[in-house]
Chains A and B, each alone.
Chain A
Amino acid sequence: MFLMLKLMDVHVYYGSIQALDGVSLEVPKGDIVTLLGANGAGKSTTLKAISRLVNIKRGTYELNGKTVNKQSPHSIVKKQVIHCPENRRVFPELTVEENLRVGAYIRKDNKLKQDLDRVLSYFPRLGERMDQFAGTLSGGEQQMLAIGRALMGDPKILLLDEPSLGLAPNLVREIFEIIKQINEEGISILLVEQNAHLALETAKYAYILENGKIELQGSTEELKENDQVRQLYLGA
């Protein structure tokens, strides 16, 4: 039932610029794993490598022990690894309902209605705005829609890129509660965050990325006590 994701020594380039310089990480079954790091460290690029938006020049990417380096974004989505991108990226000129339908685009099973109900129970506000264009939603609502749309793809592993970006603190808390709930229902999560406090509270395991390299990793319990982490990321 669970899917195991593993990156080993992954290198990614944008033209001649190196963005990832040998990233290795794992998302074990059913956990929340967080990926932290400064701006430009390569967090989003790591998620893009996983969803196959960028080319993996060197290294290995495995799902359940099978190498998927060269597969298309489509086939990664089919394997139920769903990427909820940075900055929400809802389709502005599609309605909320259509956005959710695009999220379920590749699915052929008949659990759609059930999943829609589930998404709307997480985010009742979306239910009241089904016919509204997504571009007219507030930032918070757009983030809810982006997560809901990803859930409509029926993920086994959900990749979340900065879900707290630009949201008011109480809304951030609300969204993180839901992220935990989603995880409790059996979905593994790889969470990219700027908000290290929150991420270390939420996740079980953390990786810290600097200049395209994993500098530090460990259980969040450990890292919260680590001096370097406290200084650089927790502002203590």
Chain B
Amino acid sequence: MEALLQITFGGLIFGSIYALAAIGIVMIYKTTDVVNFAHGEMAMITTFISFTFLQMVGLSFFVSFLLALIFAAIFGMTVYQAIIKRVQNAPPLNQIVVTLGLFLAFNGIAGLIWGYTPHGYPSALRGDSFQVGSVFMSPHQLFILGITLALMILFFILFKYTKIGLAMRATQQDMQTSSLMGIKVSQVFNLTWAAGAILGGVAGILTAPITYLEPSMMIDILIMGFAAAVFGGFVNLPGAVIGGLIVGVYSNWVSYYIGSELSVAFVFLLIVLVLYVKPTGLFGAKYVKKV
């Protein structure tokens, strides 16, 4: 029982990171209709940038964190403007080739610049683990939970209560009619890529202290993030969050009770089962998008 609680808690921490990755992927897909396989590599590059500010320039964690997120926003918009925009109306297969190409390109570029040797990456909150009931937790784990929760609330408020959030939701549902309402949809696309890249960047910066900082650090996260997105039905942000938490907890259980090499396989087995029973994903509804 104690082990179960501990494993579940650990799963929630990973799940939070998967959820962050998943909302970025889903948001970008929902708004610009592109499945971004380079999402994780963009996050990895943002993490390296934060590391550069932190180690090379010697700025504090939070300043580096903020600067890296500003970088992420510009990075996201640039990728959209320079590359994605051109394939936005192309067949899905072409888009997949383009974002897979970006995945490889970013991975290679990071290797060239920063090398393939793993670096240690500090957490914002250092300090010893402590015990709550029977569960051990570290300050970094609480930092992950806190940041994730704060971002969820922030995005909820953004989408639900702000004018730009309303414009984003309208654009997701009907791009052409949105421009008839005077919404500058190209601005919405830019903003979505910026926000997606920021969410990914946060996921990367939270992951690095757990794994190591190296060019392939986000590959597993990306796979699990996709799994979480599919779970949630791929169109639904709260669904992606819950999907992320489920995937995190479940894969941690599998790792502990069955074997860590099987966790990804079991996650996808579960997804196959879910999609077999409910083809639209756990929280997805039939969704026909007008362009």
Contacts and interface: CB of A to CB of B under 8 A. Distances in A.
B180 A51 contact: yes
In the A-B complex, the 8 residue pairs with the smallest Cβ-Cβ separation, listed nearest first, are A77-B182, A106-B182, A73-B179, A89-B177, A91-B173, A102-B170, A83-B180, A102-B181
Nearest to B186: A72
A172 B226 CA distance: 48
B178 interface: yes
Given A98-B166, A102-B170, A105-B167, A91 B182 contact: no
Nearest to B177: A89
Contacts of A85: 176-177, 180
Contacts of A66: none
B70 to A, nearest CB: 27
B290 interface: yes
Given A94-B169, A102-B166, A89 B179 contact: no
B184 interface: yes
A149 interface: yes
B183 interface: yes
Contacts of B176: 53, 85, 89
A72 B178 CA distance: 13
Interface of A: 51, 53, 72-74, 77-78, 82-83, 85, 89, 91-94, 98, 101-103, 105-106, 149, 153
30 contacts: A51-B180, A53-B176, A53-B179, A72-B184, A73-B180, A74-B182, A74-B184, A77-B182, A78-B182, A85-B176, A85-B177, A85-B180, A91-B170, A91-B174, A91-B177, A92-B173, A93-B169, A93-B173, A94-B169, A94-B170, A94-B173, A102-B166, A102-B167, A102-B170, A102-B181, A105-B163, A105-B167, A105-B183, A149-B181, A153-B181
Interface of B: 163, 166-167, 169-170, 173-174, 176-184, 290
A53 B185 CA distance: 12
A73 B183 CA distance: 8
